[in-house]
């Protein structure tokens, strides 16, 4: 599976997914929580158009990192297809803040998986 992001237009994250079979579930994850579900539309052989309406809660001052996840984000079999960094309000002095926000989002997923593994689930 390969996802190509086309960016955000009017609060909707758009892109194209190349896959033999589309995933049953595509989620947008922010700070370890699912904030939106992406809709898939057939765009040709092996290509799917992806659209995810972003909630207003993920658009606020500062840097916010979002992940597009195929499958159940709580499952060890889930796959991060893409990340998106949103900067709003006061623009960060350099790109390091955007990288830190992205790492935090990915760390939240890893922490959740580790806790489930440690609990024997």
Question: Residue 47: CB partners within 8 Å, gap ≥ 6?
Answer: 16, 17, 18
> Mean pLDDT, to the nearest integer, of 68-83?
89
**59 or 49, greater pLDDT:** 49
What per-residue confidence (pLDDT) applies to 94? 61
Instruction: Flag whether pLDDT at 19 surpasses 90.
Output: yes
Instruction: Tell me how far the alpha carbon of residue 32 is from its chain's centroid.
Output: 10
Looking at domain 2-118, its CATH architecture is Sandwich (2.60)
């Amino acid at each position: 599976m390969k996802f190509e992001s086309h960016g955000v237009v009017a609060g909707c994250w758009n892109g194209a997914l190349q896959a033999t079979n589309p995933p049953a579930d595509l989620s947008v994850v922010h700070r370890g929580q699912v904030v939106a579900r992406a809709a898939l539309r057939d765009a040709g052989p092996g290509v799917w158009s992806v659209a995810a309406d972003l909630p207003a809660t993920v658009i606020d001052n500062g840097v916010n990192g979002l992940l597009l996840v195929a499958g159940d984000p709580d499952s060890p079999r889930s796959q991060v297809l893409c990340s998106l960094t949103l900067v709003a309000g006061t623009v960060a002095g350099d790109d390091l803040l955007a990288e830190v926000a992205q790492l935090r989002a990915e760390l939240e997923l890893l922490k959740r998986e580790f806790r489930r593994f440690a609990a024997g689930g």
